[in-house]
Structure 1
Amino acid sequence: MHAIDADHRLLSAMRDCGADPRIAAAARALSWSGEHGALWLAAGAAGAALDRERRGAWLRGTALIGAAHLASMGVKRLVRRPRPQLPFLQPLVKTAGRHSFPSSHATSAAAAAVAFGALRPAGRHVVPPLAAMMCVSRLVVGVHYPSDVAAGALLGGLTAGFGAQWMKRGVAHV
């Protein structure tokens, strides 16, 4: 089986999960909340407001998420891969753009998992699973190929990883 065939088959299988109304509703909610990194940017702002000891780190982590999102948008404009078209299965959400590679939702989610996961013990237990669900939601709603999500997650994780030392600068106990 070729990689392109596997991409289509896995996408079809994941999109089929959206036939369950509960799964479809959860995937739509995650997709909506992740638009333009909104969930993660709001979490960063809330963390900065509530955790005065680590305010700077929260703000720098939020900046890394924003940078990762912008990087994904730049790559999308270069690659210009069209969104998937599945026979007999319409996407469960509308998208802000026509291009699919990489998934900006996955990029910002992975950046948040790396950045915010490093700030508090709770972040290591809550953010990565939520970020993974965000990534999977893009397949369930049928707007990204698995390779789009994998590339986005890699881009987001690398962006936040490269900025991790800057993010934690001047913060004790991180």
Structure 2
Amino acid sequence: MSLPTATPHGEDAILVAVQSTLAGRPGVLPGARALSHFGEHSAGWVGVSLLGAVLQPSRRKAWLTAGLGAFLAHAAAVVIKRVVKRTRPDHPAITVNVGTPSRLSFPSAHATSTTAAAVLLGRVTGLPLPAVLVPPMALSRLVLGVHYPSDVLTGVVVGTVVAKTVGAASERVAGKDGR
């Protein structure tokens, strides 16, 4: 005889709903895992920025600023995680669908670095990248069962603040040296 599990409430219930709605659809879990691996430690965004800097030397500074912003956003998320020390979702109804480098969840470093990268890369390319890149990465963290919705939303806010700060600092530096 199995013991009854507690009914999930609050953010646990949201995660269960997201997982039950999306995780079983074709391609969703592999796609979410691919986003997870791409965004780990902001490495994918730094790589995109380095590639852009090589392929478009006339905009090298802007591309490198985007990579720096993604990296600094990731670092900010790690610092906040170590201060807050919120653990990842652990309800028995939530399936964890990917490994994580730590047990800390607040804020989502993936959402943080992706948001910063999207804002700064959007400035370089002129494309609406925040609207295109942030929602899938944010949702993937829920599908994978490794973050609460508030972790992801806070990551988006922190990533936006870091991107705006890095972008403004880059503009000030560019104004001083005339480039």
Q: Same fold (TM over 0.5)?
A: yes
> Which of 1 and 2 has greater Rg?
2
Q: CA RMSD in A?
A: 1.9
Q: Secondary structure at the match of 1:119?
A: helix
2:102 paired with 1:97 = yes
What's the CA shift for 1:165?
A: 2.5
The residue aligned with 2:4 is none
Counterpart of 1:106?
111
TM-superposed CA distance for 1:129, in Å, is: 1.1
User: 1:64·1:163 contact (CA, 8 Å) conserved in 2?
Assistant: yes
1:77 aligns with 2:88: no
1:8-157 alignment to 2 at 5 Å?
8-16=12-20, 17-121=22-126, 124-126=127-129, 128-157=131-160
Aligned mates of 1:48, 1:72 — CA distance in 2: 25
Partner of 2:167: 164
Partner of 2:3: none
Q: CA deviation at 1:127?
A: 5.5
Contact 1:138 1:144 in 2 (8 A): yes
Q: What's the CA shift string for 1:49-84, capped at 9, x where partnerless?
A: 111111011112211111111010000001110100
Amino acid in structure 2 at the alignment position of 1:59: L
State the distance in 1 between where 2:18 and 2:31 align: 14
How many residue pairs match? The answer is 166
Deviation at 1:126, TM superposition (A): 4.4
Contact map agreement 1:61 1:167 (CA 8 A) in 2: no
Are the aligned partners of 2:65 and 2:167 in contact in 1 as well (CA < 8 Å)? no
